[in-house]
Amino acid sequence: MSTRTRYWLMKSEPEDFSIDDLARVKVEPWTGVRNYQARNFMRAMQLGDGVLFYHSNAEVPGVYGLAEVASAAYPDPSQFDRKSKYFDEKSTREQPRWDLVDVRYVRTLKRAITLDDIRGQAEKLGEDFALIRKGNRLSVLPVTAAQWKTILSLE
DNA sequence: GCCAACGTTGGC
DNA sequence: GCCAACGTTGGC
């Protein structure tokens, strides 16, 4: 039995890049992740995996749309770009530190599923759901099929 | 803008 | 390996 995660949640600050931006460009390289855990999750992603598009640092934080993984993980070019704020001097082309995946727009939710909505299902989602764990700051995190279903049932 | 929580860095 | 200092995330 395969136990790979087929669903993920990815956070973006809407002032920086929102679901509307993704709807416009259709496919976006998920640049700028500089956290090893989040990077490792992206490395585990496979084409077609489902993504909950989450707005963080928003007026109303929550899931605003659906996307899907549109590439396998590959080195994030911004780590080599001296002019980028994501430049990492410890990264080399031979041994890149940071990967990303491309993310493709699927749809915008009819109504945002807010963080409050999601917290309301905490019991069903489980203590281990990283989004609602205290102090959690992970920007890319796995979602089980059951959690995916529970969250989308709130739309 | 505030601040709690967390990850990373670097001195020892 | 410990841990203080620092920077960042993200809700409020």
Residue A100's CB is within 10 A of a number of other CB atoms, namely: 25
The tens digit of pLDDT for each residue in A31-47 reads 999 999 999 999 999 99
Tell me the pLDDT band of A129, cut-offs 50, 70 and 90: very high
Give the residue ranges with Cβ < 7 A from strand C. A 11, 13, 34, 56-58, 61, 115-116, 136-139
Measured between its terminal Cα atoms, the distance across chain A in Å is: 30
Q: How far is the CA of A25 from the C1' of B10 (A)?
A: 42
Q: How far is the CA of A97 from the C1' of B10 (A)?
A: 20
Which CATH code of 3.60.15.10, 1.10.1040.10, 3.40.50.300, 3.10.590.10 fits the domain covering A7-148?
Answer: 3.10.590.10
The tens digit of pLDDT for each residue in A56-75 reads 999 999 999 999 999 999 99
Tell me the pLDDT band of A2, cut-offs 50, 70 and 90: low
Closest residue (Cα, C1') to C11: A57
| DSSP-based three-state secondary structure for A138 | coil
Q: Looking at residue A3, what is its pLDDT?
A: 55
Q: Provide the residue ranges of all domains of chain A, joining segments of one domain with +.
A: 7-148
Q: What is the rounded average pLDDT of the residues A132-145?
A: 92
Q: Looking at residue A134, what is its pLDDT?
A: 86
> A142: which 2 tokens?
């796995």
